[in-house]
């Protein structure tokens, strides 16, 4: 039983994987800003977004809100995937035929893609033309370096509390 649970956790970890799209990496990076401290004080993600992107307060808050919604949606998809895989394995042990794990993974990946597209579409509708162009440039530059908001010398990550 312990081995089966370990295998399930491993499979889900692989299934969840890293998002490779720059937009997904960007939204994840925004979320990570909320889990940083500098000189013992929490980093203000809105200020950091304003500094890095030159956005207004409203647009920076829209970015932060969109990131939170996106990450929450990802968590819901991943929780549903874990539950589906567990239910599938229980049904297989009971002798029922059900859809395969690769199909479950494909469905979850499709939902992740839709979630990302909706988040970016929502974000585009909230930003002005200048800020939208700035965001596009920032995404292109960050996708080349692989990191959107690197830790500054005085910053460190703190543990996330779920």
The pLDDT tens digits for 89-107 are: 887 777 776 667 788 888 9
pLDDT band at 29 (very low <50, low <70, confident <90, very high): very high
Confirm whether 162 is domain-assigned. no
- State yes or no: pLDDT of 7 exceeds 60: no
Long-range Cβ contacts of 102-105 (<8 Å, 24+ apart): 105/15, 105/81
Mean pLDDT computed over 17-31: 81
- State yes or no: pLDDT of 52 exceeds 80: yes
Q: What is the 3-state secondary structure of 39-61? A: CCEECCHHHHHHHHHCCCHHHHH
Q: Is 147 helix (H, G, I), strand (E, B) or coil?
A: coil
pLDDT > 70 fraction of the chain, expressed in percent and rounded: 84
Question: Which pLDDT belongs to residue 17?
Answer: 45
- State yes or no: pLDDT of 113 exceeds 90: yes
C-beta atoms surrounding 26 within 10 Å: 23
**Given its phi and psi angles, is residue 21 left (phi above 0), alpha (psi -120 to 50 degrees) or beta?**
beta
Structural domain for 75, as ranges: 2-149
Confirm whether 59 is domain-assigned. yes
Confirm whether 161 is domain-assigned. no
Confirm whether 10 is domain-assigned. yes
Confirm whether 49 is domain-assigned. yes
Question: Which pLDDT belongs to residue 13?
Answer: 42
- Into how many domains does the chain fold? 1
Confirm whether 134 is domain-assigned. yes
Confirm whether 160 is domain-assigned. no
Confirm whether 155 is domain-assigned. no
């Amino acid at each position: 039983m312990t081995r089966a649970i370990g295998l399930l956790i491993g499979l889900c970890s692989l299934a969840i994987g890293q998002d490779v799209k720059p937009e997904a990496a960007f939204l994840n990076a925004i979320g990570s800003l909320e889990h940083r401290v500098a000189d013992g004080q929490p980093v203000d993600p809105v200020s950091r977004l304003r500094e890095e992107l030159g956005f207004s307060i409203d647009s920076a808050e829209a970015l932060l809100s969109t990131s939170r919604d996106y990450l929450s949606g990802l968590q819901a998809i991943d929780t549903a995937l874990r539950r589906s895989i567990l239910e599938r394995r229980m049904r297989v042990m009971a002798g029922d035929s059900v859809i395969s794990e690769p199909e479950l993974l494909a469905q979850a990946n499709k939902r992740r893609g839709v979630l990302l597209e909706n988040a970016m579409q929502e974000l585009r509708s909230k930003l002005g033309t200048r800020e939208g162009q700035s965001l596009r440039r920032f995404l292109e530059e960050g996708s080349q370096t692989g990191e959107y908001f690197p830790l500054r010398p005085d910053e460190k990550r703190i543990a996330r509390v779920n």
